[in-house]
Structure 1
Amino acid sequence: MARTARTVDTRRSILDVAQRIMARKGYSAVGINEVLAEAGVPKGSFYHYFASKDAFGEALLKAYFDEYIADMDRVLRQPGRSAAERLAAYWQQWRETQSLDDCQGKCLAVKLGAEVADLSESMRLALKEGTDAIVDRLERTIAEGLADGSITIDGEPRGTAQALYDMWLGASVMAKIHRSLAPLDTATTATGQLLGL
């Protein structure tokens, strides 16, 4: 299919609407027709933009992670700040945008991770690729913190980065279950301990 500017814009609009809806409801609870109606796209044209529902889900996750990673890079590359300060800013942003019900499309990995990993191999791989990219950036920033002296850890940067991401992902799920920010507060304290802050 040749991609015109209009086709790309419509496809992007469908993905943006789906991200907002699915961040609230999950993947299985949202029908394609609901997304198309909200995006103002005729029902019969879904397959003009996506080859299948799996392809749609994979595109949704890739678009989400592209946006997330770009924002993460912006936070973690702030000039004039130590690595510890940049990581603290990232975790603070996570706390503000990934918690409770009003995540406004910012918590798709939290919302869909466990749900879609067993539904679709292509979606699972998109989640794996996206979360690996997040851990890569955390690892790099931890290594920078070791070099600038703002961080001390027991172990290797990769293992610490993975443990931190796993902890924050779990804390985000627990914050939803308990409808409380307490799990994220606990993650904040544990993060400081793991990074020697």
Structure 2
Amino acid sequence: MPVTTRSTDTRRNILDTAQRIMAHKGYSAVGINEVLAEAGVPKGSFYHYFASKDAFGEAILKSYFADYLADMDGILARSGQSAAERLMAYWQQWRETQSVEECQGKCLAVKLGAEVADLSESMRLALKEGTGAIVDRIARTIADGLEDGSLSVDGDPRDVAQALYDMWLGASVMCKIHRSLAPLDTVTAVTRRLLHL
């Protein structure tokens, strides 16, 4: 195996391991040595892959959003469904990923958003870019729904998309606080009303 491939695989392993751990513990509570031990990577090699913990955090978020957006694109590109059906399938997937392990969820935007936005400008910008890309996809799907007649909205599709994403993010945080999926049930009903479904 070429060194570059091995190096890329090791870096990806470190990032994937960090995502899993940080989805449960947050960013600040996780040490680099814990991630490296879990990933089976020698402690001294961290700086071969990342310039700093800040750069590491940014890489985690960029990797997370790349995977998230690929999954989202798969849901929103399903054939044989209206735009409204595809969008509601996305929200259903969101609900399922937030319900794991007593509402601990797997969304790093929910888990790390408030924590790292004040710690690191590069991580805040990675969050901004990633969440902006999610809202762009929601807005495009709403526009597709207006075109295929499967939904309607009062206002600009981009504004509605931003409001929906903000509501779902907030509801996900409330699920964690209450250890209940009730906030996601409420936001699902509100989403249907906003899309006139």
Mean Cα deviation higher: 99-108 or 23-32: 99-108
1:20 and 1:180 map into 2 onto residues whose CA distance is 22
Please say if residues 23 and 103 of structure 1, whose CA atoms lie closer than 8 Å, have aligned partners that are also in contact: no
Please say if residues 13 and 39 of structure 1, whose CA atoms lie closer than 8 Å, have aligned partners that are also in contact: yes
2:169 and 2:183 map into 1 onto residues whose CA distance is 10
1:189 corresponds in structure 2 to 189
2:15 corresponds in structure 1 to 15
1:153 and 1:141 map into 2 onto residues whose CA distance is 12
Partner amino acid, structure 2, of 1:184: L
Number of equivalenced pairs? 195
Q: 1:63 to 1:104 in 2, by over 3 A?
A: farther
- Structure 1 position 30 matched with structure 2 position 42: no
TM-score (norm 2): 0.96
Partner amino acid, structure 2, of 1:181: L
Partner amino acid, structure 1, of 2:133: A
2:49 corresponds in structure 1 to 49
1:101 CA drift (Å): 4.0
1:104 CA drift (Å): 8.3
User: Percent identity over the alignment?
Assistant: 79
1:105 CA drift (Å): 7.4
Please say if residues 103 and 180 of structure 2, whose CA atoms lie closer than 8 Å, have aligned partners that are also in contact: no
Alignment deviations for residues 73-94 of structure 1 (CA, whole Å, 9 cap, x no partner): 0000101100000011000000
Please say if residues 142 and 161 of structure 1, whose CA atoms lie closer than 8 Å, have aligned partners that are also in contact: yes
Alignment RMSD (CA, Å): 1.3
Q: 1:169 to 1:110 in 2, by over 3 A?
A: same
1:162 corresponds in structure 2 to 162
Alignment of 1:1-197 (within 5 A): 4-99=4-99, 101=101, 106-197=106-197
Alignment deviations for residues 113-148 of structure 1 (CA, whole Å, 9 cap, x no partner): 000000000000000000000000000000000000
Q: 1:27 to 1:96 in 2, by over 3 A?
A: same
Q: Which runs of 5+ in 1 are unaligned?
A: none
